[in-house]
DNA sequence: GATGATATTGCAAGTCATTTGCAACAAGCA
DNA sequence: TGCTTGTTGCAAATGACTTGCAATATCATC
């Protein structure tokens, strides 16, 4: 059901290219953060990432995690998502992969979907209003199947 | 197909009914805030509302505006929207009126739309994942027609 | 209308995620 | 190896929003 026929290309830029193009420096902290960020799967908050980073690589500060996450976003390697739970979650941004989110308000599980029809309809709506779309965001909040079952207990 | 997305209770309630039902009190501050909130049109931030309220009715504090806005939300008279600009905007919640938003990232204009097809597709997606929808949020960011023209200047 | 229990207010101080100033430190070119 | 300048960790600052508290106002009851 979820099999993706087209292989997802990784984000086209890699970090060290981006850094040197901008005259920035490569550091052990940045490497460690990127590595754990990519390994972690999606939708990590800065706090969660910091936790993991600190375990593997003592002494990396909160500030550095935030700064690096911002850097990764600018480089196109990460994408920021501000859901309704009050803090920003980051996901690794593979090129051209746009998707939207289903968010379980009970357990916090976030799953993804893609729907071309919805995208097309959005463009129609925007066009009718003379609006030029740059970005969009669709979030569906509710209960995942697990939590529906638990709810009955 | 019926849209069983439950958004919020219809706002057929008026404030004084809600207050007395809950054992709460009606105050001149609450009246003033509600009046200006309703008169103001949509998508006001707490700050904007406070500004207006203060002009008409000196001495109403920020805290009271926030508290009243929260009260109105609980009463179903207001709806909170957290867009990507970092702060919450409130709109008057007329019963059963669900809509989504087009947001101009240049001038901040917010316009609304409704699209039943998109809503239906969302329910499909959710259904396929065994997800029970409680709420959803669709925001399209870009440039309104005015700002596209200005962009060229 | 006066009384009194308690909801509400304004103010200032507190949250909480995120950002920033700064001095110590490190990368990487010369 | 030296030196310029980007980076880091720390602590303090931000900024939207919330809350504690003492003063005040509401409203059911007398």
Residue A10's pLDDT band, with cuts at 50, 70 and 90, is very low
Looking at the predicted structure, is the pLDDT value of residue B37 above 60? yes
**Cα-Cα-Cα-Cα dihedral of A86, A90, A95, A100, to 10°?**
-30
Q: Write out pLDDT tens, residues A74-122.
A: 999 999 999 988 889 999 987 667 899 999 998 889 999 999 999 999 9
* Lowest-confidence region among A69-78, B40-49, B94-103: B94-103
The dihedrals phi and psi of B142, each to the nearest 5 degrees, come to 170, -150
Predicted confidence at residue A47, as pLDDT, reads 96
Percent of chain A with pLDDT over 70: 88
Which CATH architecture best describes the domain B1-96?
A: Orthogonal Bundle (1.10)
Angle at A89 between CA A86 and CA A95, to 5 degrees: 145
Predicted confidence at residue B58, as pLDDT, reads 79
CATH class of A16-96: mainly alpha
Chain A residues whose beta carbon lies within 8 Å of the beta carbon of residue B137: 84, 137-141
Query: How far is it, in rounded angstroms, from Cα A75 to Cα A11?
Result: 9
Instruction: Provide mean pLDDT across the span B9-35.
Output: 85
Chain B residues whose beta carbon lies within 8 Å of the beta carbon of residue A126: 102, 140, 142
Residues close to nucleic acid strand C (C-beta < 7 A): A 20, 25-28, 45-47, 62-63, 66-67, 70, 86-88; B 19, 23-25, 27, 29-30, 59-64, 67-68
Percent of chain B with pLDDT over 70: 88
Looking at the predicted structure, is the pLDDT value of residue B104 above 50? yes
- Range A98-153 has CATH code 3.20.20.70: no
Predicted confidence at residue A133, as pLDDT, reads 95
Beta carbons within 8 Å of A40's beta carbon, 6+ residues apart: A48, A49, A52
Does the fold of domain A98-153 match that of domain A16-96? no
Judge: A129–B82 Cβ closer than 8 Å, yes or no.
no
Predicted confidence at residue B13, as pLDDT, reads 64
Predicted confidence at residue A98, as pLDDT, reads 85
Interface probe for B, chosen from A122, A140, A148 (most Cβ of B below 10 Å), is A140
The dihedrals phi and psi of B16, each to the nearest 5 degrees, come to -65, -35
Q: Write out pLDDT tens, residues A15-38.
A: 899 999 999 999 999 999 999 999
Burial class (CB in 10 A: 0-12, 13-18, 19+), A129: middle
Predicted confidence at residue A1, as pLDDT, reads 36
Number of residues in chain A: 153
CATH fold of B99-153 reads: Dna Ligase; domain 1 (3.30.1490)
Q: Where are the domains of chain B?
A: 1-96, 99-153
Higher-pLDDT residue of A1 and A153 is A153
């Amino acid at each position: 059901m979820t099999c993706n026929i087209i292989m997802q290309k990784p984000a086209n830029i890699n970090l060290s290219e981006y850094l040197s193009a901008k005259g920035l420096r490569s550091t052990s902290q940045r490497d460690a953060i990127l590595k754990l960020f990519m390994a972690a799967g999606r939708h990590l908050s800065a706090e969660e990432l910091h936790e993991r980073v600190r375990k593997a690589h003592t002494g990396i500060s909160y500030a550095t995690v935030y700064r690096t996450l911002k850097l990764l976003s600018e480089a196109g390697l990460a994408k920021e998502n501000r859901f309704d739970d009050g803090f920003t979650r980051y996901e690794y941004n593979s090129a051209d992969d746009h998707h939207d989110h289903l968010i379980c308000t009970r357990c916090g599980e976030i799953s993804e979907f893609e729907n071309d029809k919805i995208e097309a309809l959005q463009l129609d709506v925007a066009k009718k209003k003379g609006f030029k779309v740059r970005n969009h965001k669709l979030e569906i909040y509710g209960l995942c199947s697990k939590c529906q079952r638990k709810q009955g207990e």
